[in-house]
Structure 1
Amino acid sequence: MKRFRVYYHPAHGHEAVKQGFSWPALFFGVFWALFKRLWNVAAILFAIQLILHMLDLQVQHSSSLPMALLILAGSLTVWLLPAFKGNCWREKALQRKGYKLLSELDAPSAREAIMRCDQDYHGQMLV
């Protein structure tokens, strides 16, 4: 079972956010951020990746090992950071949009977490 936080917005309904590591964010990065409507995160990740790519092209011509290691470290960070922090970023974005936390519960999927929350609380916001 996975741990989810279920949020509610009167106009937009329910959203469930898995707690912890995000495998989709690890593999899809910028595309995951776009899919989750984290526009600022997607723009920042894309800009950093673009800068690192341009730096990498420069390093290939100069053969600078310290700079190559720095670019590698930056690339790994940009790749791993969304996986570790993506769900937190998503929760903060939902809260900024007016979503309120209803519940935190264990469920096999986000859909199931929302259904269980609805059954437990009959659609009423508790928090």
Structure 2
Amino acid sequence: MNSYQVYKHKTKEIKAVKSGFAWLAIPLNLVWFISRGLWKVFFSYILIILFLAGVDYEIYGELGFLNFSTASDLHWLWLLIQIIILTLPGFKGNEWTAKNLRENGYEFAYSVRANNKTTAIKLPENY
């Protein structure tokens, strides 16, 4: 069971946001942002990825990858920075989603433990 935060809007459907790590935000990064309506984060992430790719090109050239046997400390630090940036949506994605809902007129209704979003939304009807 997961913990969900449920948000209500005066005219739109009820939404539930899972608390904790957003596993799909990592492998599906950009599609996940769009599906959640996180347009600001989406465009920011595009710029960040382009910046990272540009720095990679300057460091590694056309090969574009880290040679583990000859990597310097600076190369390892750059790799660590990239890993942190690319996994950040997993750690912050659900929080960003909840914030976006509040910015779009949704109000926090309740928290609940449920097996999925659909159940989390319907649980209060059962009480």
TM-score range, shorter chain: 0.7 to 0.9
**How many residues get paired?**
119
Distance in 2 separating the partners of 1:67 and 1:34: 34
Alpha-carbon offset, residue 119 of structure 1? 4.0
Instruction: Name the CA distance, whole Å, in 1 between partners of 2:23 and 2:79.
Output: 21
Between the two structures, name the one with larger relative contact order (CA 8 Å, sep ≥ 6).
2
Give distance in 1, aligned partners of 2:105 and 2:125.
19
TM-score normalised to structure 1 length: 0.85
Cα-Cα RMSD: 1.7
Q: Is the 8 A contact 1:6 1:102 kept in 2?
A: yes
For 1:110 and 1:76, how far apart are their aligned partners in 2? 29
* Distance in 2 (alpha carbons) for counterparts of 1:47 and 1:64: 26
How far does the alpha carbon of each residue in 1:11-38 deviate from its partner, in whole angstroms, 9 at most, with x for none? 1120000001010112211221111110
Q: Which runs of 5+ in 2 are unaligned?
A: 62-69
Aligned partner of 1:100 in structure 2 is 107
The separation in 2 between residues aligned to 1:28 and 1:71, in whole angstroms, is 23
Asked if 1:5 corresponds to 2:5, the answer is: yes
CA distance in 2, matches of 1:47, 1:66: 26
Structure 2 equivalent of residue 81 of structure 1 = 88
TM-score by length of 2: 0.85
1:29 aligns with 2:29: yes
8 A Cα contact 1:22 1:86, kept in partner = yes
2:79 match:
72
Kept in 2, the 8 Å contact 1:38–1:90? The answer is yes
Amino acid in structure 1 at the alignment position of 2:86: W
71-80 or 17-26: bigger deviation: 71-80
Return the letter of the residue paired with 2:55.
Answer: L
The residue matched to 2:21 in structure 1 has which SS? coil
Identity across matched positions, percent: 29
- The superposition leaves residues 50-97 of structure 1 with CA deviations (integer Å, 9 ceiling, x where unpaired) of 110111011014x98355334312321222110001100111110111
